[in-house]
Structure 1
Amino acid sequence: MSEATRKKLIDSLNLDMVLQSVRLALCVTDPEQPDNPIIYVNRAFLELTGYEEEEVLGRNCRFLQGPNTTQESVIAVRRMVAGKSMSTVDIVNYRKDGTEFVNSLQIGPVIDQDGETVLMFGSQIDVTSQRAEESEIQRLANAEVAHRMKNLVTVMSSIMRTTARYTDDMDEFAELSVGRLEALSLAHIATLTKDGDTPASTSELCDSIVRNYAPDPHQVSIRGASIVLSRHVLSPLSLALHELATNSAKYGALSCEYGKIDITWSANDSGKIVEMLWRESEGPSVEKSSRSSGSNLITRLLERVGGSIKFDWEPEGIKARIELPNG
């Protein structure tokens, strides 16, 4: 491109009313000149940075950098300019009054009809509030995970201590512990991997825990509304379902082909109290066991969150009623 054509192209930018009307901050630099100076800025650029046009023209864009501008972002900008390719980077820049902002900077080449890069452009978007919001969301998410993991470890410790207290045989201790911890993990992993921030529901817990113990899924009937559960009740409720299902698979309705379990869920008008009724039928005759490690464990865990469980050891099948605060 001839120098005359090049000058005409550059001069035409100063007459381009369209670019001056655009609300997106724009600047144009000349990579053929020493230090790639700014040769054009629009009004939005001046409003964003607080500078006057005469304070900007002829300078390299690095004057916008400051104490909190990272070396990584500076290197990224240099690579983008040197490579003459279109790309975007977040970089901390500074206004004339010294206030900083996070600049979502897009850099790209202006190419002539011969495919040659004659100028470079940069567009600037202030994304400070968006990045601050994203950072706060991430902080809260990390805090939530840490809190839940702390609670999970506390429950796991309680499971291990209670199981050890009522079990002398190491093989039995290992079997009981593994089963209980697996039930606990099913509930918590499900909520950690769900899209969005929706906790597990009563039907999801029953499907993931109770139905796994049934030789035939039709042996388990789940009735009532599917109630979304508060996170703090997941651990005790998961363990309660696991203990009831394990006992049923060994001694109750699920230990035979024709046994049935009916699970009914309900909540009060405010939805803050959840009730579960567990009824077994058509299984072997049931007698109350002299061993109570499982029932003691889930009773203690439910009471810790303000809930309760009541057992009825009827000959035709065990019945249990669980109440939990859900708010």
Structure 2
Amino acid sequence: MIVTDARAPDNPITWANDAFVAHTGYGLPELLGRNCRMLQGPGTDAAEIARIGAALAAEEPISAELLNYRKDGTPFWNAMTITPVRDADGVAYFYAAQADMSHTHQLELAMRGTNDELERQVAARTTALSAALEQKTALLHEVDHRVKNNLQVISSLMLLKARRTPEGEARDALQGMAERIGALSTAHRMLYAEGDCTHFDLGEFATELLSDINAGLDADRLRIEAQVEPIAVAAAMAAPLALLIHELTANALHHAFHDGRSGTVSITAQRHADGIRLTVRDDGVGLEAAPPNPAGFGRNLAEMVVRQLRGRIAWAAATPGTRVEIDIPLRGSA
């Protein structure tokens, strides 16, 4: 603690306690009559000095922290509170209580160094993880690309064989399997094009898948309408959903509009609290009037895929036509 004379020129020190003397290294005779600026040095903050000077000139109390220097040149952080002491004529003295905060600054520097090292390690780890993720994404995209190419080759071979097979059940079976494999190929083509290798947009996915089916239709007689919301779905569901949408759409086109009938197949998909509700409806002849198909297994295949997705499927008359409603859970998938 020190006291300075506010009315004497240059506000000199008039009293200092033993702790101040011991800490600064100056003897009491060396301190008395001198201004506190004797403790300043090359690292002392000029802006903070100016702030203290302004407070003293305004005769206001102030708290501040300065880098000061002992008599032997050793620096220390000096936290001080300066208070004006008044008498009947105004401010007579300034009283300053001071504390050495060097240990606090040393801890801050140590913490800053530790934080800098942690940030460096986190940045390095993040870079490594990003690189690993990019490699994984590239690998998954490459896998999808190769699977798509292989499926396209298989589909083309089956179509070629179907064309060379006499009309009948064998030819129809080959044609149907080639179309199913083509749907799976489309699924992998879509995944290959997605930036996120873990999810895909069901709306874009369905549009792409159905456009392939639409391309082979007689536009004057049949058409497909789709209203599929942009739902984020796990990539693992791409192949089952492609097969399911293709199977239900193809079944409706093949069986609901026989004998040259015209009509529409509509596909809708909406997100609800627990997952997706997928609806496929046609305005064809209906379930009861559809011609028998002993060799067909499209309905069984659709039901197996829904079970695989842990969903439920319901078939019903739509008056006219048929309505298939499917609920698929998305727990942890989207």
Q: TM-score, normalised by structure 1?
A: 0.46
TM-score norm. by structure 2 comes to 0.46
Task: Give the number of the structure whose alpha-carbon radius of gyration is greater.
Answer: 2
